[in-house]
Chain A
Amino acid sequence: MEPVIKIENLGKKYILSHHTKEKYVTLRDMISDGVKSILSGKKKGEANNYSEEFWALKDVSFEINQGERVGIIGRNGAGKSTLLKILSRITEPTTGHVTIQGRVASLLEVGTGFHPELSGRENIFLNGAILGMSKSEIESKFDEIVAFSEIEKFLDTPVKRYSSGMYVRLAFSVAAHLDPDILIVDEVLAVGDAAFQKKCLAKIEEISGRGRTVIVVSHNMNTVMKLCNKAILLNLGKIDAWGNVEEVVDSYYRSNFGTSARRIWSQEPKERENKEVRLLETRVHDKDFGIQENYDITKPVGISMDYEVLKDGEKFTHSFNVYNEDSIHLFSSHDTQFEATNKICEKGVYTTTMWIPGNLLAEGNHTVSVAIIRINPFYIYFHEMDALRFTVRDYMQGDSARGNYTLDFPGVVRPLLQWQTGKKQA
């Protein structure tokens, strides 16, 4: 069978010009460039020699078959959004060729074109038309959309009076009823409350269940793992891995930079370099500092970070955040004991470790974000999401909160608590 999406040697080039901060040019710039080039005796165009080519995507080729659910993952700046924009025909590629069979609906943002002055009812029609639905199509699905969004009561209120939750629900509902052959979604699931997010995920699963092709871009590996059966890992505009979702997500965690339990940051390209503190390495380890990915639920887990202070006189503290596989933020901890919160730090390399006691985390995958922050006045030197990943397992030796219970055990944490029982005196 012919693939629904066929991409060959796709590339997108941007010209970065380093002497103007604004993306758009003004006539003044054109004129002053012209004058500069006359003065320096250069031809027009040469004057602008600060500009630099940048390939946001290069030589990307792959095929997607009907009914596949493909996740596109990668770090910031890997080219994910550029790829989506090309597939949704917002921007034109510089090289290559894409063939798409069927009707495409792309959802790069929730509520594109919503007008704050218009009522919910009016916005359903407007947004539907913007997303490519015909009037009769919107009319026939209108009740369904309203029911899904749970905003019946406020249909005739201008959306500027909506809470942000209502706004997002309405916007997603319109998009969810598009019924295209190919649905392209960008990060939109990162909005709304947990219950509604679940509903959205279920809706997308339902859409793909009907044989539709779904392409999802997300930073959230768990969303991708849940929704998709295939994935593409992009790195600096090129495909790093392509195939089965588990393997690709795994290679995302491992990608060149060590295992998911240890990451060497000094080798990674930085989004924004700061001049005060530099992250060198992060590790997750047992109490003997042995790096591993799986931990016994009863044993403590250590999280360490090496960093270099590049400038004398900084005052800061460390902060680690732990998330579970549903991306629920379990807790945040910052170092209140470390003297650096009050004491000025000298240049040099430091190591810090946070210990998570045994019998606290529940079973499952956890991810850690690491940060160095200053409490007062508040400032973030860096905050790296998805820095580490580890798995907590219960080996059923009877000394965990599970005891001898083997079935499904809910809860985001699993502390081992004291119980006291006695017979009540009559």
Chain B
Amino acid sequence: MNSRIIIEPGAKGKNYWQDLWKFRELFYFLAWRDVIVRYKQAVIGIAWSVIKPLLTVVIFAVVGRVLHTAVPFGVPRLIFVCIGILPWQFFSTAFSESSNSLLANSNLLTKVYFPRLIVPASTIIVSLIDFLTSLGLLFVFMIYYRYVPAWNIVLLPAFLLQATMISMGAGIYIAALNVKYRDFKFIVPFIVQFGLYISPVWFSSDQYVYQNVKVPEVLKFVYSLNPMVGVIDGFRWCILGGKTDLYMPGFLLSITVCFLVLFLGIWYFRKVEKSFADVI
């Protein structure tokens, strides 16, 4: 008899992080399940994780071309758009999947105990794997255009981490809300769709669309409240190097928002977690 469990009102907090560690294998298995199941019975399987961004990249490149959106000098448009699409698509799938994850696994919540945070967190893994495969697309473009990325590319994982934190934080928050208020099931697709148009996915964040005029600092700072602006700009900075600048105040704001979202997400999740089985 080595373990001793105490159950009482409000007692769940004490060993939470320890428990989370104890259940790390469950985290791994849930992620593994999602990965396997995702492309089961799909003939071309994981190729979908490349085809989806490819089509989006082509569409936005065409739209950008028609509207003459600004692209830094010497950067092929396909590469420029692709660098915007990839982190965005990672965010949008990770965020939607994790915010829906508790509902999708409600049978687990009502039948077994484990730290609930595992569920939304494990869904991120699938999106991460999708993202890594879709990076192949970017490399294909770079080889085609014989484009050599800047040395900054070594910092790419840092921005990927930032994107992960944002999608996880927001996903956890919405997942917890979703248990009680099913409205978020309808709100999430809207956020994702709307976000695609207002994030600098197919245009540059520091130039107006039509003229090659710099955006005023104030506007840019406000724009950076959308944490994905910092992520996408960061990705561009990593790969295109000196062709785009990393706008420091905006970047710092983005990081702050990112931590805030993650903190709020975990805080709210922990607060309502113990009632999940009763309300779901």
Contacts of B23 in A (CB 8 A): 132
A112–B278 alpha-carbon span in the complex (Å)? 18
Binds A, one of B106-114, B167-175, B233-241: B106-114
Whether the pair B9, A130 counts as a contact (CB closer than 8 A) is no
- What is the 8 Å Cβ interface bit string for chain B, positions 1-23, against chain A (1 contact, 0 not)? 11111111111100000000001
- Collect the chain A residues with CB atoms within 8 Å of residue B280's CB: 23-24
Contact B111 A90 (CB under 8 A): yes
B241 to chain A, nearest CB (A): 43
Q: Which residues of A contact B109 (CB under 8 A)?
A: 90
How many chain A residues touch the partner (CB < 8 A)? 48
Known: A26-B182, A113-B108. A125 touches B29 (CB 8 A): yes
**A181 near B1: Cβ-Cβ < 8 Å:** yes
Distance between Cα atoms of A96 and B10 in the complex (Å): 11
B25 within 8 A of A: yes
- Assess whether A89 is in contact with B36, with CB atoms less than 8 Å apart: no
| B275: chain A residues within 8 A (beta carbon) | 92
Which of A216-266 touch B at CB < 8 Å? none
Given A101-B1, A108-B112, A112-B108, the answer on whether A26 and B181 have CB atoms closer than 8 Å is yes
Q: Does B41 contact A (CB under 8 A)?
A: yes
Q: Is the CB of A14 within 8 A of B278?
A: yes
Q: How far is the CB of B114 from chain A (nearest CB, A)?
A: 8
B108 x A91 contact (CB < 8 A) = no
A292 at the B interface (CB under 8 A)? no
Chain B contacts for A89, CB-based, 8 A: 5, 7, 113
A102 to B4, CA, bound (A): 6
Interface membership of B78, Cβ < 8 A: no
Closest A residue to B5 using CB positions: A100
Does A274 count as interface, using CB distance less than 8 angstroms? Answer: no
Contact of B4 with A99 in the complex, beta carbons under 8 Å:
yes
The yes or no answer to B33 lying at the interface (CB within 8 A) is yes
Q: Does A85 interact with chain B (Cβ within 8 Å)?
A: yes
Residues 279-318 of A contacting B (Cβ, < 8 Å)? none
Selecting from A115-123, A333-341, A412-420, the interface stretch reads A115-123
Report whether B181 and A131 are in contact in the complex, using a CB–CB cutoff of 8 Å. Answer: no
- Most chain-A Cβ atoms within 10 A of its Cβ — which of B4, B11, B111, B182? B111
Whether A91 lies near B277 (C-beta < 8 A) is yes
- How far is it, in angstroms, between the C-alpha of A327 and the C-alpha of B114 when the chains are bound? 35
- Residue numbers in A under 8 Å from B183 (CB-CB): 26-28
- A118's partner among B37, B182, B278 (CB-CB below 8 A) is B37
Task: Please provide the chain A residues from 77 to 105 with a CB less than 8 Å away from any CB of chain B in the complex.
Answer: 85-104
Determine the residue in chain A with the shortest Cβ distance to B184: A27
In the complex, which residue of chain B has the Cβ closest to the Cβ of A104?
B5
Interface assignment of A346: CB less than 8 Å from any CB of chain B? no
Is the pair B181, A25 in contact by a Cβ cutoff of 8 Å?
yes
Q: Which B-chain residue is minimally distant from A27 (CB atoms)?
A: B183
Q: Does chain B have a CB within 8 A of A135?
A: yes
CB A75 to nearest CB in B, in angstroms, measures 22
With A23-B279, A25-B181, A112-B107 in contact, do A88 and B6 touch (Cβ < 8 Å)? no
Q: Which of B109-134 contact A (CB under 8 A)?
A: 109-114
A109 at the interface (CB under 8 A from B): yes
Q: Does A134 contact B (CB under 8 A)?
A: yes
Bound-complex Cα distance A113 to B180 (A): 22
Contact of B112 among A30, A94, A101, A113 (CB under 8 A): A113
Q: Are B278 and A91 in touch, CB under 8 angstroms?
A: yes
Q: How far is the CA of A257 from the CA of B182 in the complex (A)?
A: 44
Residue of B whose beta carbon sits closest to that of A129: B29
Contact: A130 with B7, CB < 8 Å? Answer: no
Q: A129 contacts which of B5, B6, B9, B25 (Cβ < 8 Å)?
A: B25
Q: Are B36 and A122 in contact (CB under 8 A)?
A: yes
Residue B50 at the A interface, CB < 8 A? no
What chain B residues lie within 8 Å of A102 (beta carbons)?
1-3
Docked CA distance A24–B180 (Å): 5
Given A24-B181, A99-B6, A100-B7, decide whether A106 and B112 contact each other with a Cβ distance below 8 A.
yes
The smallest beta-carbon distance between A4 and chain B, in angstroms, is: 8
A100 in contact with B112 (CB, 8 Å): no
A binding-site residues for B, Cβ under 8 Å:
4, 14, 23-28, 30, 85-104, 106, 108-109, 112-113, 115, 117-118, 122, 125-126, 129-132, 134-135, 158, 181
CB pairs A–B below 8 angstroms (19 shown): A89-B5, A90-B277, A91-B277, A92-B10, A92-B275, A93-B7, A93-B9, A96-B9, A98-B6, A98-B7, A99-B5, A100-B6, A103-B3, A113-B111, A115-B33, A125-B29, A129-B30, A132-B23, A134-B25
**Beyond known contacts A125-B29, A129-B28: 6 more, CB 8 A cutoff:** A92-B12, A106-B113, A113-B111, A118-B33, A129-B26, A130-B108
